[in-house]
Copies of this chain bind each other. A is one copy, B any other.
């Protein structure tokens, strides 16, 4: 008897295989091969197919190792024409196919659940073109975000998207998932920043909507259909993205606050004093730093002013807040930040005393190195927590004033009557406060409480979102993981239109099946 891995079991749990899809046969592989051997126009490259299990393995699991498929072949096209011919064939032959870029998603949106073929865009990574004249970049789907950022920076320009996974995430994926990240509050979503797209539809048609125009109201703006639809309506093959002047000045301050009311107040002060220069406002509660080693936490000059502490006492939550500004004039930005800090220190909500009744002073980063260190503390939080035990991650959003309620609610729920021990099960919240985007993480350090936690958390967390004007998915999308909860964030009429769209674009349902919609 074959024992299935937990990841394989999970995949089977999420969806039954659709019997209308054909099983991949040698003739299909031969045909795919003939497509991929066709040399690309303007390039000499040809594509390839991977069929050896060890080569397929890295594509066949999500990076959190939560879901494992039985993908029989990975297709690696090198141009849009390859993608078009592949999708046309899959639609006709009813071959299920999953588009995949950096495979950094958290909702299994680019995972095979059964025997789907994987279409990896990673070889579509020609050097991106950055134009100072149009202040835009043009990149293929497989270009890594960080590389695009580097090329833009060389030209004095900024890519308005950045996030922890920038070293692996690829442009096609960031567009298809409407990726968010830490600069969202300043520069907006991919709907705001994608100027043009090239997409291959689920039927194999190439939609060339590439453009660097800022304003273009010639008919329905179809690119928005493909931004955030997680590769279920079409495959993004190229994008042009709006760039911004690279900021001459980046300032970073770290605050410690004692109450959530103080966080709200600090944000109000940031809007007032920093306004157009504010580029990030990130919140971590004290509990979320429990698993960060003490020596990696930043200090002010005296130990007494340690802005962090490990927070075993869950009842006295505190918050660490990173406030970043980006601007064109360092003197102005530092002055704005100084005014802001002064206002915060004078504010009765925001002032925090230590045991010796001294003020905790905010840390103002003094160097690029210190800035990197402070950001690393924030970026490491999800990684540290994930390695500290079995971690339940919820990426949800709320109106600003309700941002932290969900954490308090689940602490109350899980700790009351000694149901779970706060030392064993962490309930923490951190995230992009400026966007109302909180990452609720529940970490079972014993790795023993899965069954009991499953019952407590699902669907309770998502129902809590629905009951408090929140969304079940802020930035990670729906993928496989959240599709059964979609009805909590969207009305039946809205979901019906989504399904009509999917049916219209992909009549045989072969493109990224089992995702987003049930």
Asked if residues B212 and A399 are in contact (CB atoms below 8 Å), the reply is yes
Count of residues in A whose CB is under 8 Å from the partner chain? 89
A178 smallest CB distance to B (angstroms): 5
- Which residues from 216 to 241 on chain A have a C-beta closer than 8 Å to any C-beta of chain B? 216-222, 224-225, 227-229, 233
State A327–B329 Cα separation when bound (angstroms): 13
Asked if residues A191 and B224 are in contact (CB atoms below 8 Å), the reply is yes
A434's closest neighbor in chain B, by CB? B214
- Which residues from 417 to 434 on chain A have a C-beta closer than 8 Å to any C-beta of chain B? 432, 434
A501 smallest CB distance to B (angstroms): 6
State A97–B460 Cα separation when bound (angstroms): 44
State A491–B328 Cα separation when bound (angstroms): 40
A355 smallest CB distance to B (angstroms): 34
Please give, as numbers and ranges, the residues of chain B lying within 8 Å of A335 by CB-CB distance.
329, 332
Asked if residues A218 and B328 are in contact (CB atoms below 8 Å), the reply is no
A232 smallest CB distance to B (angstroms): 8
Please give, as numbers and ranges, the residues of chain B lying within 8 Å of A222 by CB-CB distance.
494, 497-498
Q: Tell me which of B208, B213, B474, B495 contacts A217 (CB under 8 A).
A: B474
| A368, CB-defined interface residue at 8 Å | no
Asked if residues B220 and A498 are in contact (CB atoms below 8 Å), the reply is yes
| A471, CB-defined interface residue at 8 Å | yes
- Given A192-B188, A205-B493, A177–B217 Cβ distance below 8 Å? yes
Please give, as numbers and ranges, the residues of chain B lying within 8 Å of A497 by CB-CB distance.
201, 205, 207, 222, 505
A346 smallest CB distance to B (angstroms): 18
Please give, as numbers and ranges, the residues of chain B lying within 8 Å of A151 by CB-CB distance.
none
How many subunits of this chain does the assembly comprise?
A: 2
Asked if residues A494 and B209 are in contact (CB atoms below 8 Å), the reply is yes
A471's closest neighbor in chain B, by CB? B216
Please give, as numbers and ranges, the residues of chain B lying within 8 Å of A320 by CB-CB distance.
none
- Given A397-B213, A400-B133, A219–B486 Cβ distance below 8 Å? yes
A57 smallest CB distance to B (angstroms): 29
- Which residues from 75 to 93 on chain A have a C-beta closer than 8 Å to any C-beta of chain B? none
A275 smallest CB distance to B (angstroms): 3
Stretch at the interface among A22-30, A142-150, A266-274, A301-309: A266-274
State A134–B267 Cα separation when bound (angstroms): 12
State A474–B184 Cα separation when bound (angstroms): 26
Question: What would be 24 A-B contacts, judged by CB atoms less than 8 Å apart?
Answer: A134-B400, A188-B188, A189-B192, A205-B497, A211-B469, A213-B399, A213-B436, A213-B471, A213-B474, A214-B435, A215-B436, A217-B476, A217-B477, A218-B473, A218-B478, A218-B489, A219-B486, A219-B495, A220-B225, A274-B328, A329-B332, A329-B336, A332-B335, A504-B504
Q: Which residues of A contact B (CB under 8 A)?
A: 133-135, 177-178, 180, 184-185, 188-189, 191-192, 201, 205-209, 211-222, 224-225, 227-229, 233, 245, 247, 271-277, 326-329, 332, 335-336, 397-401, 432, 434-437, 469-478, 482, 486, 489-491, 493-498, 500-501, 504-505, 516-517
Extra contacts, 7 of them, besides A178-B221, A211-B471 (Cβ < 8 A), are A180-B215, A192-B192, A201-B497, A208-B494, A218-B482, A328-B336, A504-B504
